[in-house]
Amino acid sequence: MDVQNLYTHLFTTNNYNKLIRPSRNQSVPLSVHVIFTIYGISGVDEIQQKLTTTGWLEIEWTDELLSWTPSSFGGLRYIYYPQGDVWKPDISLQNGFSKLDELGSKFISVYIDSNGLVNWRPFQVFKSKCDIDSTYFPFDRQTCHLDFEAWSLSSADVHIIQGSKGIVLADDLQKHGEWKIVSSSAVNLAESHETKVRFTIMIQRKSLYAIMNYIIPILLLSILDIFTFKIPVDTGERIGYVITVWLAYAVFLTIISDALPQSSESIPIVSIYIMLQIFIGTVIVIISAIESGCAHRSDDESVYYILKTLTKKCRKQNEPENSMCLDRGCLTTFANHECLCLEGEEVCVTWKEAISALDKVLFWVCLIIFVSSTLITLLVAGLKYI
């Protein structure tokens, strides 16, 4: 009976009107304290630039029209009442991604104590706009804001203040398979006639999955591509091998294309790296095709002059005086530590010898490009947040 008498006293006898701001002095703004508790991250959409979080707001204010003396009602110190039947600030998500909706649901009740303190805890799925920068994928971090403001009430009516805890991570925080919360903060924002509070969360992508399924396969395919130059060009297996590796690139890129961030605003460094490796693989296919054609040409004296610097038959050597050597029919003597070819005894370089020498150079050039580009990519993408 005490509860019924209290309800009658507050809402019938006192003629409570939920449309009136509950301040006896209407010239003083009502202070509303807001705490945001995050229950979990539901998803991040790079294309739509959207963050979806699940949680609840804890909103408190003092309703001077809903206070009573506990001793007059059997020591009753608090009650619960449906949220739709009391005055409450029309707080909403300013940077929301969907239409403007009222917080909470009809079945949610507010907590009211004898001093008029009202505690409202609306639970909701919040879809907010967030500028997603995927440049450093899969080592990227994103900073997202959730701005809550009183939509129709000005700062002269309501003053929204962050609660003592600001933003809180729930004890049973639900883990997300791709993202984790690194840090969070809250700050009050005051603009001309608006008052609002901003909750900021920094999330970081879990990179292990991307490393195991995207990065490492690309590295292995790149290494296989480089070792094309270790296959003799005259065996007939090189063209089949290099095309197979290139097709593996194409098939793999098709498989992971949907998994990579699909935004033109920020191109991931990893995507640039993958395209670089595919470009190098294409060049290797072209070089291998040209070399295979040259390997079946008849030996021509012009090869000696074209690639003489790569396959010199005579070079300076530090050998004992008066020693002699025989190199493919080119008799050389060493006098005064100089290598001298006997006149008319130089041997022309064959196409296979020239291609073999060129392959050695190309192997090391491609290996250096691969190692340097990989290290630069990892340093730029991975060490940004270390």
pLDDT tens-digit series, residues 257-311: 777 777 666 778 888 888 888 899 899 999 888 888 776 665 554 554 455 555 5
> Which helix (H) or strand (E) is 295 found in, with range?
helix 269-295
Residues 116/66, Cβ–Cβ less than 8 Å = yes
For 321, list phi and psi in degrees, rounded to 5. Answer: -65, 140
**Structure confidence by residue, pLDDT tens digits, 145-171:** 999 888 888 888 888 888 877 788 888
Q: Give the bridge partners for 196, in sequence order.
A: 149, 189
Give me 278's structure tokens. Answer: 């595919």
Sorted by sequence, the CB contacts under 8 Å of residue 376 that are 6+ apart come out as: none
**Structure confidence by residue, pLDDT tens digits, 22-53:** 888 888 888 899 999 999 998 888 888 899 99
Residues 195/155, Cβ–Cβ less than 8 Å = yes
Q: Angle CA(259)–CA(265)–CA(267) in degrees, nearest 5?
A: 50
**Helix pair 351-382, 216-226: axis angle to 10 deg:** 160
Task: Say how far apart CA 170 and CA 174 lie, in whole Å.
Answer: 8
In angstroms, the Cα distances linking 333 to 88, 133, 308, 315, 345 are 104, 68, 21, 12, 13
**Helix pair 216-226, 269-295: axis angle to 10 deg:** 20
**Helix pair 269-295, 351-382: axis angle to 10 deg:** 180
The predicted model scores a pTM of 0.74
